[in-house]
Amino acid sequence: MTELDLKQIYVAPGKADLKFDVVSSIKNISPLEWNQLAGCSAAMMEWEYFYILEQSNCIGWERRFNPFYITVSSRKDGLIGIAPLFERDDAAYEFGISGLITEVAKVSQIPFDRGLVGTIPFTPVPAYNFLLRENDDKKALIRAVLKYIDYICEIFGFLSARFYFVDNDLADAYDLFFDHGYVQLVTNHYLWSNRYRSFDEFLAFMNAKKRRNVKRELKKLALEDVSIEFLKGTEADAAIFDQMYGLYLRTWKKYMPIGIRPFLNRKFFSLLKPFFSERCLFTVAKRGGCDELGMAIFFHKDNRLFGRYWGAYEDVPFVHFAACYYYPMMYAIEKGIKYFDPGFGGLHKKLRGFQSVSTYHYIKFFGPDRHVGYMSLENVLDRWGCC
């Protein structure tokens, strides 16, 4: 990775009052100013979440996810925009189009995986956004940010800029990305939209087969005296967060290949308690009201609920579906939450009422051989059967 000084100032053409800067740690950005810009964004775009990732060393030089936050200020109003980016020299664990950039680098024999990445690390949900002041011309600011990213990539020698799982605001800015030379890639994601007054009303909208299956699964759990309880993060003690870490590890070891280091660590979960508990919600599965079977953690802000991590002490049929899908749906209906994102992957979600939606990613290549990157990208996509 580059050893150049990260402090760079650039005035966008036609925007003489704008100042751009690169900040290498979130500790150097005011939490209040950051969160004022993140007001309408997802919970994981708030200052505290990136702070926890940094302080737990889940991101940083050693994890090859080096913070590279671009800030935009004006002389009159101070901080008006932030683009949370990360400097990377590989493309490992970039979800959504897994292995794509690594494959492009292999095919082209050019290290296009060395570049800037806009993402919420290890969080493959469509929630990444530029944090921009609400009353400004957002399109003009996005253009300025993209132009500055071009500038940064040129002076640092980065060979690509890529954005994963962008929020609707950026997905709607397709023309701006296209005008700046980005390719848009589309993948599928599952989402549940709440328009119901009760869980029974939701079931009534499902086809008969799916409705019978859901009722059968919930009935089976009731017959085995399995219950699902909710626990707000603000009411959970530190031991609950540590317990969630242990369950996260159990799930990791069950499904991930041996030798791959877990993305998150115990310190990450411990810091959720003091810094992010008001965004956290747990479902706790118990047998007989006392024996814990498993637990899931969710992040909630305003109209969006995100399912993040799940773990179980024993494999009991349908407990996962109840704790991670059905009961969070009930919670969303009760609280008037509009969208529930259950997390990445899983065709089984479609069988339980989630709808497949399009998710967008953007990639741009730089350097004298950038045309080779686009040709290699097209080659890889054709080989993968993508459009």
Say if 370 falls within a structural domain: yes
Say if 138 falls within a structural domain: yes
pLDDT digits (tens, 9 = 90+) for 253-299: 999 888 889 999 999 999 999 999 999 999 999 999 888 999 999 99
Which of 60, 65, 159, 155 has its CA nearest to residue 118? 65
Q: Which amino acid is at 34?
A: W
Number of domains in the chain: 2
pTM: 0.93
Q: Report, in angstroms and rounded to the nearest whole number, the Rg of the chain calculated over CA atoms.
A: 22
Length of the chain measured in residues: 387
Asked whether residue 42 falls in the same domain as residue 113, the answer is yes
Say if 346 falls within a structural domain: no
Asked whether residue 228 falls in the same domain as residue 283, the answer is yes
pLDDT at 171: 87
Asked whether residue 209 falls in the same domain as residue 108, the answer is no
Say if 152 falls within a structural domain: yes
Say if 118 falls within a structural domain: yes
Residue with tokens 């609400």: 134
Say if 351 falls within a structural domain: no
How many Å is the maximal CA-CA distance in the chain? 69
Say if 349 falls within a structural domain: no
Asked whether residue 42 falls in the same domain as residue 175, the answer is yes
> Residue 146 sits in a domain of what CATH number?
3.40.630.30
pLDDT digits (tens, 9 = 90+) for 157-215: 999 999 999 998 898 899 999 999 999 999 999 999 999 999 999 999 999 999 999 99
Asked whether residue 147 falls in the same domain as residue 230, the answer is no
Asked whether residue 182 falls in the same domain as residue 199, the answer is no
Say if 175 falls within a structural domain: yes
Residue-number span of the structural domain to which 273 is assigned: 195-337
Which of 73, 101, 1 has its CA nearest to residue 361? 101
Asked whether residue 134 falls in the same domain as residue 32, the answer is yes
Distance CA 269, CA 276 (A): 10
Asked whether residue 153 falls in the same domain as residue 251, the answer is no
Confidence of residue 385 (pLDDT cuts 50, 70, 90): low
- Round the average pLDDT of the chain to a whole number and report it: 92
Distance CA 77, CA 79 (A): 6
Asked whether residue 378 falls in the same domain as residue 281, the answer is no
Asked whether residue 170 falls in the same domain as residue 230, the answer is no
Q: 86 with 122: CB under 8 angstroms? A: no
Tokens found for residue 171: 């997905």
pLDDT digits (tens, 9 = 90+) for 298-351: 999 999 999 999 999 999 999 999 999 999 999 999 999 999 999 887 788 999
Asked whether residue 24 falls in the same domain as residue 105, the answer is yes
Q: 346 with 325: CB under 8 angstroms? A: no
Asked whether residue 183 falls in the same domain as residue 235, the answer is no
Q: 64 with 90: CB under 8 angstroms? A: yes
